[in-house]
Structure 1
Amino acid sequence: MQATAKILVTNDDGIRSSALWLLAETLCDLGEVTIVAPSIQHSGAGRSYTGPDGSLVSYDMPGGCRVKAAYSVEATPAKAVVLALGLLLKDDPPDLVVSGINYGENPGTSIISSGTIGAASEAVLHGVRALAVSRAVPEGEYLRNSESIDFSVSAHFARKFAQLMLTDPVYRSLSLLKVDVPANATPHTRCKAARLSSCRYFEPVFKTDAHGEMVIDYRVNPTDPAIQPGDDIYTLLVEQLVAVTPLTLDMTAPIDLRMLERDC
């Protein structure tokens, strides 16, 4: 790895997330870090471009912070990456984009709606490899950005896999890597390569708020019989290991396309 490795850090929990700043500071051990993150919480935004286009606004960094520069933008996570790679870093692109550390795990089909994965996917579409890191948290904590949650172990694994993506030939061949860290993980918790589960992880729950209005909440549903050993949900929830899942943006179904030609 070159000492001048350039890393862009982003998230979907917003520029004020303590997990974002811990991640960025930890990655400064590996190279030059720039932060571009949404100005507010955008969990569940996926890779959407909705809302204002926003503009990059320089963000005051904490004293002693080693990050090169930080910017907030009034935009979704994916659009923040568009602005970062298409404007701010257009002439000096990063070697790696790291999205996270997310408040809440992202296994199974939750990747479709995840703003954390959406930001990482956007980076891949711009030709930059990406790492998305999420930490399991208790239900009810997904949108709170609570300062009481310890992200130091997740930052440890983020650094580990960021370094691998910058240096290791196998990891350098990957365009997008997803890492989910259990809530009870330690630096010694084993990592396990896991395939992406096709199961729903977050189940919608319909509730009535204090004003009598219907609201949709979500709860973890780990009882789907289709959850199997070897997938990321099983690895994270049952084995309580760090689930490491290589992803691709190719969503083509595994079928011989010639079978469809007869009707085309």
Structure 2
Amino acid sequence: MKIHVLTLFPEMFPGVFGSSILKKAQEKGLVDIQVWNIRDFSDNKHKQVDDYPYGGGAGMVLKPEPIFRAVETITQDRHPRIILMCPQGERFTQARAEELSKEEELVFICGHYEGYDERIREYLVTDEISIGDFVLTGGEIPAMAVIDAVVRLIPGVLGQEASHIHDSFSTGLLEYPHYTRPQDFRGMKVPDVLLSGNHKKIEEWRMEQSLKRTFERRPDLLEKMELTPKQKEFIESLKKKKETHQ
């Protein structure tokens, strides 16, 4: 996969892209990440890329010319997904990460200042993505988050191919609890079922724990799931327990 990032602050990215899983993915040749300075595509002698909004108002707006020129130069005759990082965009989800991980090339546009010239949205980008209902200084941190979520799903990136399958949201549920050594830490013990060696019981326990954690923390996720009769029965038992303690 090729990933391009258009930004006014390329110095923000080396630490993230040069560490951990993202670094290993690049070393393996599974992803090629390039960061581009939007100012390099400005035809203004002062490298200006923003201007005051028509109609007045506070803040500065990113001009269309350098953004269009950057995307056209980078992609040439190719037509990859052009992703605008924007608080007005669609909420980013694990499902969207899985979808994007199947693409061969992605371009991320990181805005700053007050916003983008509307023609960038209307005529250039294919997707607008938000990482939540809050506003950051720019699109750089959201782009890093999305790229990290996408790259780790590319086959071969993670050491164990099944590592991401049980991640929170991958199954529609929050992930079950994990334990490691020591077995007994200050009187806090690992659940006996995980030490039993009975893989069927362990899987049942993990599913119940995922359901329980989702029910307690993100019940809205359960509304979107098609639960099995056994899962529904377990959720009903959790509801009764909750009602009893209220």
User: Do the two structures share a fold, i.e. TM-score over 0.5?
Assistant: no
Name the TM-score, length of structure 1 as normaliser: 0.28
Larger Rg: 2
Larger proportion of helix: 2
Larger proportion of strand: 1
Name the TM-score, length of structure 2 as normaliser: 0.30
